Each structure stands twice: as structure tokens, then as C-alpha cells.
Structure 1
Amino acid sequence: MEHTDDPVRIQALLNEHTGWSAMLWMFSPSLRRLVLRVYHFQEVRELYVVCVGCKTIVGAFEWQGAQLRFTQKENEQEARYWLRDEAGFELSFDGGAVVSVGIPSDEWLSNF
């Protein structure tokens, strides 16, 4: 699997998976850590966005035709990062993001 925390590469990977389905896949009990899964039934590989320091979430937990956009802003007063979709999904967070794409192994994310 490829892993990246580079904002430019994150958006490039999200763009490669435009039109796929997206779902909230995993989360910590406090909801401060979330994993969004982007998948297509005709593909073996999947894309996962791990978000840390989550502040707010709006929208559905699963949708089709994903058009995810990753943005960041330097502002100490509010969240630094956003993951948004035209379907009405919006997640704000301040701890960063890692995107992983490929075929997940059985133990991947087992210690989430």
C-alpha cells in the first residue's frame, strides 16, 4: 500500500478515485480519529483517509459518486484541515491526515 501525508499527493489520490463510493469506515469512541473508506466494487484496491483530531462532521455516513476535496488553512482559532464532498459531507480536524491506497492486508488498521 502507498501511504502519504503530503497535501498535494492526498488530493491527487482523491482525484484518482472520483466517482467511487465513500463510507465512514472506522472511528474511535471519542470520534477524534476517523477513517473514511473510498471503494469501487469492480476494483481490488481501496483508498483510506485517516483523519486525526476531528472537530466536526456533517453529512451522510455513506454515499456514491464521491468527489472528495482536501483543504488546509493556517488558523490557530479553528480547524486546520477539511475533507469535503459535494454530497454534503464535511469533516474538520486539526491533527492531520494520512491517505493509504492499495490492497489492505488483514492486519492493516488492527491497532486503530
Structure 2
Amino acid sequence: MPLSPLPTDMRESMLATLNDHYVLYPQRVRYFCYLCKEQLDGRSRSALVKRLDQIMRVALQQTEEWHSHFRTWISEAVEHQAFHTSDHDFFLLHLEKCKPRRGEKRAAIRTRRIKQIEN
């Protein structure tokens, strides 16, 4: 089955979501990555999906620059014929919209606190 590019309505929906001022950084990153996963669905290798999940975790924690990792990932996906070439260009073009906007705080790392029981 030949690869098909992201449909126009999905592209428009993605751009509307990424440009919406009320959509916060973590939501934009998750949406961006899940849309990539959706394009990979059924054609991908599990290693590509796992790497995308790792990149998303790094992006949500903003522990380092993740855009370069994403660029590498998407090039590998195209090389393995798991991603359409026009999607490669589209996602790279709009990757910059997945940066924290002015005034957006760094995503909080959630920790679970366990209350100690005294005997």
C-alpha cells in the first residue's frame, strides 16, 4: 500500500490547533507527536514509535533541545518509508510552533508523593 500524505483537512486542523493561543505548550507537543504517530500507524517499526515517545517526554519536560532529535527522527521515518515525503516537509516547517510562547512556564514534572504511615 503506497504512503499517503496527511490530508488537507488534518493539516488545517493541525495549524489551527498550533496557532490557537489557548492551547498550551504541553498540549501542542502532544498533539504534534500524536499526529505523527497517526501517520505512522500500520506502517511503522516499533523502534520509530518508541523514539518518538522518548522525544515527546523530553519535549514535555523541556530538559534539552528536542527539535534536532525530532528532525533526525522524521528523516529516519522517511528513509524507512514509514512517513510520506511531503509530511516530512510539512512537519519540519511547523515544528517551530512547538516552542514555549512568551510567558508560558516550563512544564512541571509530576511526582507522586507517598505519605509514610507511622506505626
Instruction: Specify which structure has the bigger relative contact order, considering alpha-carbon pairs within 8 angstroms and separated by 6 or more residues.
Output: 2
TM-score (norm: length of structure 1) = 0.27
Greater strand content: 1
